[in-house]
């Protein structure tokens, strides 16, 4: 295959290549030519690619495909150590895998709707789900992707205990070899099934010649399988090669939307950390990055051509309590803490552009709170999102039996109210948030000390319940979290730390949603009913009740929500405009090429 | 004399053995199991928690947890056969990973240390020769200033300016993309190209110290009588410089050289992170982050063995250069 | 070190001789010889002068911090991202969370000074202990101690420190200093030992030995004073190593932190993209200047002291003749990192 000139490559190399090869083909952009004359050095220093159109003369071959490379990045690990088996426990590079394998469907954060991808349709009956694969969905060998492939994959997923099997009893082929029928173990809420199928890490990868042999082995066998050779996928790009430095993927002509993909190569450079990725964007070495946190000061310095796409992360910084703790197990103490913390300030310190405080404190994504809470929205407690509500907090603490003496809150034994506040050492924006939160709490009279733990240890401290209070995310993230069932339930049993926050599964008495008086609710039971209810109105009501419980009882205190930042470039590439809904699917660098919306600019 | 060599060689083996045992013990002390980071990663990737637990449980079944002493004996035996175990995080034999990465680290450290020495000595000697002159003062000043700047600061700045902003050098990696790791001209060129910035950052800060030390030594020696006598005898400047001054001035710096080698081998953990240079230091840190015991032990051990071998070689050659040593006297080169 | 030097120190340091001097007079002489004169000589050299001044400056900052004369750093105490010198209330500017940079720098100083002193003391004391005993005693003791020392020297410093730091998460600055320098003493110990080998052949030492003075006393009174120059200089360099290593490790994110520290500030600034934007550059520069300033002070002091104790290094003209056997191990500068 012809040698493509990778954007950002060293000038000498480009020059030498052209001389030895003899075919100084027109694939070198004007930008490279300028670099050769050393002028770009000064221009790059000024940090601009401004003005000059950088796509030079590019000639498409007969299919209308340009011999151009889109350069992205992966920070999963050194590519030569990684592989492409999505079911493996370790070393699967999802950034590469998402290009090689198509997904079933996708959730669009802009529209709030699901979009079909590998499926052409899905339908939900009481106890069956029918999935129809696209007619033109093929492996890169040219063979069709059949229901058998998918069934093989699902059977393997049963071995590995994938969540799909939480509600599925059996799978079989439907009317033809493009239809798969799932028989449910009980009536299930279609939203849950849709989110499970549309989860971005669920890929159609059951290539039978490779995966059939695992059907009669242990789960461990397929989870240890490292697929590095003879990799066959059905996505827009196929695996070509990988080295220490990068993955090289080439255009898959059998992809169902191949006519819309107009460039030949996708490279994923191996970049370790955020700084390297940020510098890559600044210097033009990287065209796209799937997801990268870029602090505001750096965003200002990025070239004009770099486009940012922000999507809700449904994840963010919050406070986790150990409900067995004598102080933080008390609702009033938790509520007092919520009143004291000024969420807006935390957001402004930790990432003013990409973090926003949740308007109401509960287990629903901030962007969707109004929609789901409807009329009840106003009665939800906001705990002063942009202020420190000292009066309310003081009243609550006094009611709980604490007194403030000498500027510090103490309990009846004279012990200061506070302790060790855990926080993970690895994320700098979280460290800033923690510093802000602890400063605010200490200014009010608590007595906290920050205990920063390495990320590898961080989870175990929570899992073992060896903590009093600390920083943790308050929603599990992912498209799933757009459906409140998932985050609300997650806040209660917190499977990520095995329930280490000790929130007991029992009935709780909290103020009533309307008027005065009280209500009792077992949030665990109620949220479970959502899984099996198909009536939308009932689902909404249950969600509101459980959300109300979350708001009053604070199993987890949600403070700010993060926006994921995804990066594209318009320097040499056509990208959709800011109001195009196609930008709403995670991740744009994966989704847009498939729709034909990320292609080289023609002249 | 033979006795000395034999004893010295036996020492090497003894040291390696002890270090291997120490490494084994040390790494067992590390907190957190080997899968905590994997878990974090999978969760962030979007895999539901229950599934994550199931996956990891399966992985653990493959590795039986034998009692500690048994693991130690197994480890030492395997080590004697050259088997460093299997990396948990990368699923490859540790020896394979290290074989690929060790040459790069050794290359960078060796080249940069030799450069530091050569340039430092030359500079120091010149400064001593023109002592008190402008040249001397200016370079002393420069040396001192450079010594205040840690190498990683220089590395970060160099990377930013020369690689990202001006694009003169590659931003990461040991060789270029698509270059075949065979002994060919493009390979060598690419390898050189990628190693220039690391070597530069590692070298430039350290030159100052060596230059000043050499200068000090040389000045002392130049003040000695036997140098005056040689001069009076009519020996050429050049002969005096090499046979008398240089030799005597450099000898004491040997200790420094060996210590330097040690510190620099260790310092690669920082240097390679900055440049994403996949050498031993890089893998040590990534093994540390994933709590990958076998890889960590292997890398640590290899770095140590490299140091031990380096010191051993230096010891042997030192005894050749300094006749006082081979006369018996004190055992060691120092 | 040099016979002339040691001789001049020696016959007046009066270990067991000169019974006619009162204690007070003896102390006065010690003060004169060992402290006052060297100090004068040192001050005359511009390097030590500058080094002292710089270090005094840091000491002053530490005192200010301990006495609470400058506000404590905390978030949102000032507008965010103030540039340096923009507002004289916050002379060094502020960070992204509105923390006063000057406060950050000042309040980190006591811990940092503690850390580097602890590390330097540890390295020096252990080195002196092992080096002198091994050198003086010789024989079996020497073999054992030197084997141990070799073993420690064979272990690469930073990787060992990283593993220990992750294992024990030392937060106490003194503990941290010791951990960072845990194997630093080995090289020093060796050099000291060689020097002791030479010193122990001297007449006065032999005299003390025949008079039946106990070993510890001999080491203390006869051996160590001769090594003081070497020890002092390397003490300073050990301190500098701790400084560099600690910052490097904070940079890597390997060291845990619970209080502020220049390395931590540097790490934050770097991760918040201060390298790329002018508006945040002061956040990166302030700790860097603090770090380099302290290093510079230590280096200057070390260099200056070296010249003080090595009068011949000042200029070749003042050279005196001596046997080559003593020009062993003249290298006092151990350049690391």
Find the range with the poorest average confidence among A328-337, A516-525, C135-144. Answer: C135-144
Per-residue pLDDT band for C12 (boundaries 50, 70, 90) equals: very low
Per-residue pLDDT band for C331 (boundaries 50, 70, 90) equals: very low
Of C270, C310, C328, Cβ closest to residue B252: C328
What is the CA angle B11-B14-B16, rounded to 5?
A: 110
Q: What is the pLDDT of residues A206-218, one digit of tens each?
A: 999 999 999 998 8
Which residues from B are below 8 Å from A243, CB to CB? 177-178
Per-residue pLDDT band for C199 (boundaries 50, 70, 90) equals: confident
Interchain CB contacts (distance < 8 Å): A and B: 146
Answer whether B273 sits within 8 Å of C252, measured CB to CB. Answer: yes
Pick the more confident residue, A501 or C223: A501
Task: State residue B306's pLDDT score.
Answer: 86
Of B43, B166, B276, Cβ closest to residue A496: B43
Which residues from C are below 8 Å from A275, CB to CB? 270-271, 275
When computed from its CA atoms, the radius of gyration of chain C, rounded to whole angstroms, is 23
CB contacts under 8 A, B 6-45 vs C, are 11, 14-15, 18-19, 22, 26-27, 29-31
Task: State residue C125's pLDDT score.
Answer: 93
What is the CA angle A247-A248-A254, rounded to 5?
A: 125
Taking residues A394-409, what's their average pLDDT?
Answer: 90
What is the CA angle C148-C149-C150, rounded to 5?
A: 90
Residue B65 reports pLDDT greater than 70: no
Residue B334 reports pLDDT greater than 70: no
Per-residue pLDDT band for A65 (boundaries 50, 70, 90) equals: confident
Pick the more confident residue, C121 or B334: C121
Q: Please choose, from the candidates C251, C280, C334, the residue with its C-alpha nearest in 3D space to the C-alpha of residue C99.
A: C280
Which residues from A are below 8 Å from B56, CB to CB? 89
Which residues from B are below 8 Å from C140, CB to CB? none
Q: Please choose, from the candidates B210, B209, B200, B213, the residue with its C-alpha nearest in 3D space to the C-alpha of residue B151.
A: B200
Which residues from C are below 8 Å from B150, CB to CB? 244, 247-248, 291, 295, 337
Q: Which chains does chain A touch, 3 or more C-beta pairs < 8 A? A: B, C
Interface test with B, best of C4, C58, C158, C230 (most B CBs within 10 A): C158
CB A236 within 8 A of CB A255: yes
Q: How far is A169 from chain B (nearest CA, A)?
A: 17
Interface test with C, best of B259, B283, B296, B313 (most C CBs within 10 A): B259
CB A254 within 8 A of CB A138: yes
Residue A13 reports pLDDT greater than 60: no
Interchain CB contacts (distance < 8 Å): B and C: 195
Six-digit token string for C197: 């080998």
Task: State residue B32's pLDDT score.
Answer: 62
On average, the pLDDT of chain A sits at 84
Pick the more confident residue, C303 or A512: A512
- How far apart (Å, rounded) are the C-alpha atoms in residues A580 and A575? 10
Taking residues B60-65, what's their average pLDDT?
Answer: 48
Task: State residue A40's pLDDT score.
Answer: 35
Task: State residue C160's pLDDT score.
Answer: 87
Residue C161 reports pLDDT greater than 80: yes
Residues 6+ apart with CB under 8 A from A582: A576, A591, A592, A595, A597
Per-residue pLDDT band for A183 (boundaries 50, 70, 90) equals: very high
Question: Which H or E run includes A407?
Answer: none
Residue B61 reports pLDDT greater than 60: no
- How far apart (Å, rounded) are the C-alpha atoms in residues A475 and A314? 6
Helix (H, G, I), strand (E, B) or coil at A412: coil
Task: State residue B205's pLDDT score.
Answer: 82
Long-range contacts of B75-80 (CB under 8 A, 24+ apart): B75/B20, B75/B24, B75/B297, B76/B20, B76/B21, B76/B24, B79/B20, B79/B301
According to CATH, what is the number of the domain C63-315? 1.10.3720.10
Percentage above 90 pLDDT, chain B: 3
pTM of the model: 0.79
- How far apart (Å, rounded) are the C-alpha atoms in residues A199 and A193? 10
- How far apart (Å, rounded) are the C-alpha atoms in residues B41 and B280? 23
Of C151, C162, C251, Cβ closest to residue B152: C251
For residue A348, give the chain C residue with the closest CA. Answer: C97
Taking residues B116-125, what's their average pLDDT?
Answer: 86
Q: Please choose, from the candidates A382, A371, A398, the residue with its C-alpha nearest in 3D space to the C-alpha of residue A112.
A: A371
Find the range with the poorest average confidence among A16-20, A248-252, A599-603, C131-135. Answer: A16-20
Residue B203 reports pLDDT greater than 80: yes
Helix (H, G, I), strand (E, B) or coil at A75: coil
Strand A518-521 versus strand A447-453 pairing type? unpaired
CB A66 within 8 A of CB A262: yes
For residue B310, give the chain C residue with the closest CA. Answer: C154
Q: Please choose, from the candidates A391, A395, A440, the residue with its C-alpha nearest in 3D space to the C-alpha of residue A418.
A: A440
Task: State residue A18's pLDDT score.
Answer: 32
- How far apart (Å, rounded) are the C-alpha atoms in residues B81 and B297? 16
Residues 6+ apart with CB under 8 A from A71: A6, A7, A8, A267, A268, A269, A285, A286, A287, A288
CB A262 within 8 A of CB A574: no
CB B84 within 8 A of CB B297: yes
Domains of chain C, by residue range, sit at 63-315
Task: State residue B330's pLDDT score.
Answer: 45
Of B31, B91, B276, Cβ closest to residue A90: B91
Residue B327 reports pLDDT greater than 50: no
Of A428, A450, A451, Cβ closest to residue C268: A428
Interface test with A, best of C77, C79, C97 (most A CBs within 10 A): C97
- How far apart (Å, rounded) are the C-alpha atoms in residues C171 and A181? 58
Measured from the Cβ of residue A304, the count of other Cβ atoms closer than 10 Å reads: 12
Find the range with the poorest average confidence among B278-282, C41-45, C47-51. Answer: C41-45
Interface test with A, best of C99, C104, C261, C271 (most A CBs within 10 A): C271
Is B262 within 8 Å of chain A by CB?
A: no
Is C264 within 8 Å of chain A by CB?
A: no
Taking residues B72-96, what's their average pLDDT?
Answer: 80
For residue B176, give the chain A residue with the closest CA. Answer: A245
What is the separation of C-alpha B323 from the centre of its chain, rounded to a whole number of angstroms?
29
Q: Please choose, from the candidates A383, A381, A382, A376, the residue with its C-alpha nearest in 3D space to the C-alpha of residue A514.
A: A376
Q: What is the pLDDT of residues C286-326, one digit of tens each?
A: 888 998 899 889 888 887 777 766 655 444 433 333 333 33
Is B151 within 8 Å of chain C by CB?
A: yes
Taking residues B18-32, what's their average pLDDT?
Answer: 76
Task: State residue B54's pLDDT score.
Answer: 73
Percentage above 70 pLDDT, chain C: 80
Strand A263-270 versus strand A66-74 pairing type? parallel
Is B237 within 8 Å of chain C by CB?
A: no
Per-residue pLDDT band for A46 (boundaries 50, 70, 90) equals: very low
Q: What is the pLDDT of residues B217-265, one digit of tens each?
A: 787 777 777 778 887 888 877 777 767 777 777 777 777 777 788 888 8
Task: State residue C80's pLDDT score.
Answer: 82
- How far apart (Å, rounded) are the C-alpha atoms in residues A157 and B189? 47
Q: How far is A452 from chain C (nearest CA, A)?
A: 7
Strand A418-424 versus strand A469-473 pairing type? parallel
The answer to whether the bond into C330 is cis (omega within 30° of 0) is no
Task: State residue C327's pLDDT score.
Answer: 36
Q: How far is B62 from chain C (nearest CA, A)?
A: 26
b/e burial code for range B137-155 (CB count within 10 A of at least 16 → b): eebbeebbebbbbbbbbbb
CB contacts under 8 A, B 260-279 vs C, are 260, 262-263, 265-267, 269-270, 273
Taking residues B33-54, what's their average pLDDT?
Answer: 72
Answer whether C151 sits within 8 Å of B29, measured CB to CB. Answer: no
Look at chain B and count its residues: 334
Find the range with the poorest average confidence among A491-505, B11-25, B163-177, B292-306. Answer: B163-177
Strand A263-270 versus strand A246-251 pairing type? antiparallel
Find the range with the poorest average confidence among A100-114, A144-158, C20-34. Answer: C20-34
Taking residues A42-55, what's their average pLDDT?
Answer: 35
Of C191, C316, C332, Cβ closest to residue B223: C316
Q: Any idea what DSSP says for residue C34?
A: I
- How far apart (Å, rounded) are the C-alpha atoms in residues C9 and C1? 11
Q: What is the pLDDT of residues A560-575, one digit of tens each?
A: 999 999 999 998 899 9
Q: Which chains does chain B touch, 3 or more C-beta pairs < 8 A? A: A, C
Answer whether B156 sits within 8 Å of C270, measured CB to CB. Answer: yes
Is C274 within 8 Å of chain A by CB?
A: yes
Which residues from B are below 8 Å from A248, CB to CB? 177-178
Taking residues A269-289, what's their average pLDDT?
Answer: 85
On average, the pLDDT of chain C sits at 77
């Amino acid at each position: 295959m012809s040698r493509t000139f990778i954007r950002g490559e060293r000038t000498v190399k480009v020059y030498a290549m052209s001389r030895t090869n003899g075919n100084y083909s027109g694939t070198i952009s004007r930008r490279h030519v300028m670099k050769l004359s050393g002028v770009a050095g000064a221009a790059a220093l000024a940090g601009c690619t401004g003005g000059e159109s950088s796509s030079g003369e590019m000639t498409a071959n007969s299919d209308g495909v340009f011999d151009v490379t889109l350069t992205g990045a992966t920070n999963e690990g050194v590519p030569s150590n990684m592989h492409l088996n999505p079911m493996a426990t370790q070393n699967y590079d999802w950034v590469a895998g998402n290009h090689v394998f198509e997904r079933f469907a996708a959730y669009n954060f802009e529209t709030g709707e699901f979009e079909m991808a590998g499926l052409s349709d899905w339908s939900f009956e009481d106890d069956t789900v029918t999935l129809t694969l696209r007619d033109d969905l093929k492996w890169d060998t040219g063979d069709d992707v059949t229901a058998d492939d998918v069934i093989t994959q699902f059977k393997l997923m049963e071995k590995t205990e994938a969540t799909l099997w939480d509600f599925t009893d059996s799978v079989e082929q439907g009317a033809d070899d493009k239809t798969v029928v799932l028989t449910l173990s009980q009536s299930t809420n279609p939203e849950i099934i849709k989110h499970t199928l549309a989860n971005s890490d669920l890929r159609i990868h059951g290539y039978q010649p490779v995966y059939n042999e695992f059907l009669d082995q242990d789960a461990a066998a397929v989870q240890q399988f490292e697929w590095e050779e003879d990799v066959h996928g059905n996505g827009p790009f196929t695996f070509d090669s990988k080295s220490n430095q990068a993955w090289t993927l080439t255009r898959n002509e059998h992809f169902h939307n191949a006519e819309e993909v107009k460039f030949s190569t996708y490279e994923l450079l191996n970049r370790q950390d955020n700084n390297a990725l940020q510098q890559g964007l600044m210097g033009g070495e990287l065209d796209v990055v799937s997801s990268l946190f870029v602090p505001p000061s750096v965003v200002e310095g990025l070239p004009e051509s770099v486009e940012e796409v922000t999507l809700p992360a449904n994840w963010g910084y919050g406070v986790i309590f150990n409900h067995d703790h004598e102080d933080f197990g008390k609702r009033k103490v938790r509520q007092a803490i919520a009143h004291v913390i000024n969420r807006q300030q935390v957001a402004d310190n930790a990432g003013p552009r990409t973090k926003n405080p949740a308007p109401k404190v509960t287990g629903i994504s901030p962007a969707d709170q109004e929609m789901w809470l409807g009329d009840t929205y106003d009665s939800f407690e906001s705990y002063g999102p942009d202020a420190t509500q000292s009066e309310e907090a003081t009243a609550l603490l006094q009611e709980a039996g604490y007194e403030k003496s000498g500027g510090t809150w103490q309990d009846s034994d004279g012990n200061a109210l506070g302790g060790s506040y855990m926080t993970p050492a690895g994320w700098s924006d979280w460290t800033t948030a923690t510093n802000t939160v602890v400063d605010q709490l200490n200014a009010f009279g608590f007595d906290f000390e920050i205990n920063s733990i390495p990320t590898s240890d961080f989870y175990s401290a929570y899992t073992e319940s060896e903590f009093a209070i600390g920083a943790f995310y308050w929603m599990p993230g992912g498209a799933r979290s757009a459906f409140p069932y998932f985050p609300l339930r997650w806040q209660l049993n917190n499977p990520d730390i095995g329930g280490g926050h000790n929130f007991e599964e029992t009935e709780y008495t909290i103020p009533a949603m309307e008027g005065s008086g009280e209500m009792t609710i077992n949030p665990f039971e109620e949220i479970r009913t959502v899984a099996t209810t198909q009536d939308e109105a009932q689902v909404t009501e249950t969600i509101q009740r459980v959300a109300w419980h979350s708001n009053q009882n604070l199993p987890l205190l949600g403070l700010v929500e993060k926006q994921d930042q995804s990066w594209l470039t318009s320097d040499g590439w056509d990208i959709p405009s800011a109001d195009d809904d196609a930008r709403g699917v995670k991740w744009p660098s994966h989704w847009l090429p498939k729709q034909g919306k990320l292609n080289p600019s023609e002249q | 004399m033979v006795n000395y060599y034999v004893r010295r060689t036996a020492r090497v083996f003894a040291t390696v053995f002890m270090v291997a045992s120490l490494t084994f013990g040390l790494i067992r002390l590390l907190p957190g199991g080997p899968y905590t980071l994997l878990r974090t990663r999978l969760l962030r990737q979007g895999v539901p928690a229950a599934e994550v637990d199931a996956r990891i449980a399966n992985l653990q079944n493959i590795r039986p947890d034998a009692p500690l002493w048994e693991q130690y004996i197994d480890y030492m035996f395997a080590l004697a056969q050259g088997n460093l175990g299997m990396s948990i995080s990368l699923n490859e034999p540790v020896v394979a990973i290290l074989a690929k990465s060790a040459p790069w680290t050794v290359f960078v450290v060796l080249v940069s240390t030799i450069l530091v020495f050569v340039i430092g000595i030359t500079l120091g000697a010149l400064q001593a020769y023109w002592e008190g002159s402008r040249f001397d003062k200016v370079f002393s000043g420069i040396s001192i200033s450079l010594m205040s700047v840690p190498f990683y600061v220089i590395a970060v700045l160099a990377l930013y300016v020369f690689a990202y902003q001006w694009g003169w050098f590659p931003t990461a990696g040991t060789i270029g993309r698509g270059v075949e790791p065979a002994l060919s001209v493009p390979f060598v060129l690419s390898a050189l190209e990628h190693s220039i910035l690391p070597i530069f950052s590692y070298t430039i800060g350290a030159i100052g110290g060596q230059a000043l030390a050499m200068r000090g030594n040389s000045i002392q020696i130049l003040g000695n009588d036997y140098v005056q006598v040689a001069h009076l005898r009519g020996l050429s400047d050049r002969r005096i410089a090499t046979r008398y001054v240089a030799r005597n001035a450099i000898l004491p710096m040997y200790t420094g050289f060996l210590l330097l080698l040690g510190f620099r081998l260790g310092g690669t953990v920082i240097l390679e992170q900055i440049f994403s240079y996949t050498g031993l230091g890089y893998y040590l840190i990534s093994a540390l982050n994933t709590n990958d015991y076998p890889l960590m032990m292997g890398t640590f051990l290899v770095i140590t063995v490299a140091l031990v071998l380096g010191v051993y070689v230096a010891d042997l050659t030192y005894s050749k250069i300094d006749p006082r040593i081979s006369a018996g006297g004190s055992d060691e080169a120092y | 070190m040099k016979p002339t030097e040691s001789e001049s120190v020696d016959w007046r340091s009066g270990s067991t001789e000169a019974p006619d001097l009162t204690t007070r007079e003896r102390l006065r002489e010690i003060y004169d010889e060992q402290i006052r004169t060297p100090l004068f000589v040192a001050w005359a050299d511009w390097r030590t002068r500058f080094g002292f001044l710089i270090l005094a400056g840091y000491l002053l900052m530490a005192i200010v911090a301990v006495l609470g004369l400058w506000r404590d750093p905390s978030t949102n105490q000032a507008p965010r991202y103030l540039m340096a010198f923009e507002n004289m209330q916050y002379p060094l500017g502020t960070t992204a969370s509105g923390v006063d940079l000057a406060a950050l720098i000042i309040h980190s100083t006591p811990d940092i000074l503690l850390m580097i002193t602890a590390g330097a003391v540890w390295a020096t004391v252990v080195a002196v202990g092992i080096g002198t005993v091994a050198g003086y005693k010789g024989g079996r003791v020497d073999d054992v101690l030197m084997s141990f020392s070799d073993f420690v020297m064979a272990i690469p410093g930073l990787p060992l420190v990283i593993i220990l730091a992750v294992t024990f998460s030392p937060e106490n600055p003194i503990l941290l200093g010791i951990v960072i320098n845990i194997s630093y003493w080995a090289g020093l110990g060796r050099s000291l030992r060689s020097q002791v080998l030479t010193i122990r052949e001297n007449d006065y030492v032999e005299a003390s030995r025949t008079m039946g003075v106990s070993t510890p006393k001999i080491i203390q009174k006869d051996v160590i004073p001769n090594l003081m120059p070497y020890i002092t200089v390397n003490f300073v360099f050990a301190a500098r190593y701790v400084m560099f290593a600690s910052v490097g490790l904070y940079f890597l994110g390997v060291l845990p932190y619970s209080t502020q520290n220049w390395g931590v500030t540097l790490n934050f600034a770097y991760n918040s993209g201060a390298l790329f934007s002018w508006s945040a550059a002061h956040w990166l520069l302030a700790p860097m200047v603090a770090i380099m300033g302290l290093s510079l002070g230590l280096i200057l002091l070390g260099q200056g002291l070296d010249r003080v104790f090595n009068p011949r290094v000042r200029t070749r003209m003042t050279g005196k003749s001596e046997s080559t056997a003593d020009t062993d191990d003249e290298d006092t500068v151990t350049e690391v990192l």
